[in-house]
């Protein structure tokens, strides 16, 4: 299955998502900060990145902009996974370069559908 990088500063979220996606057959890498996540993205070249938006060292919006500005990483789909669910937060995430958006608490079946949709080859 896919190599997924999940970047979130909350340990319980990392554990929960890694276990659930691991049970679906995915290889899940985790990072506890945006900076660590950017380094892992560069070295591991995941198939998709799940990005928390509200992190203390560098927020997910800035990290996504960095990813999308890097020619070696910009092709990697990024799904925002965030508690930021106010009006305009989805648009802010998409403007930063995220390819999709999902709010916490997670709806895992919907999240897995979004991951699979982003990993599917484009229709011919």
> What's residue 39's pLDDT?
97
Does residue 122 have a pLDDT over 90? no
**% pLDDT > 90, the chain:** 77
Tell me which DSSP letter residue 53 carries: S
124: confidence class by pLDDT, cuts 50, 70, 90: low
Average pLDDT over residues 84-97: 85
* Mean of pLDDT over the chain: 92
Helix then strand then coil, in percent of the chain rounded to 5, is 45, 20, 40
Domain contains 124: no
Domain contains 59: yes
Domain contains 37: yes
What domain range is 75 assigned to?
A: 3-119
Average pLDDT over residues 100-119: 90
Average pLDDT over residues 66-74: 97
pTM for this structure?
0.93
Count of domains forming the chain: 1
pLDDT digits (tens, 9 = 90+) for 14-23: 999 999 999 9
Are 62 and 34 in contact by the 8 Å Cβ rule? The answer is yes
Residue with tokens 């982003």: 118
* Euclidean distance between CA atoms 77 and 92, whole angstroms: 16
CATH of the domain at 94: 3.40.50.2300
Average pLDDT over residues 55-79: 95
């Amino acid at each position: 299955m896919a190599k997924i990088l999940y970047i979130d500063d909350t340990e319980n979220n990392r554990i929960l998502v890694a276990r659930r996606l691991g049970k679906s057959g995915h290889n899940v890498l985790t990072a506890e900060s945006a900076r660590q996540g950017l380094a892992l993205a560069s070295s591991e070249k995941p198939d998709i990145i799940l990005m928390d938006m509200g992190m203390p060292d560098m927020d997910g919006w800035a990290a996504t902009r960095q990813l999308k500005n890097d020619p070696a990483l910009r092709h990697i789909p990024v799904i925002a996974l965030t508690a930021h669910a106010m009006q305009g937060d989805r648009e802010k995430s998409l403007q930063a370069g995220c390819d999709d958006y999902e709010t916490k608490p997670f709806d895992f079946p919907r999240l897995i559908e979004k991951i699979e949709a982003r990993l599917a080859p484009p229709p011919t």
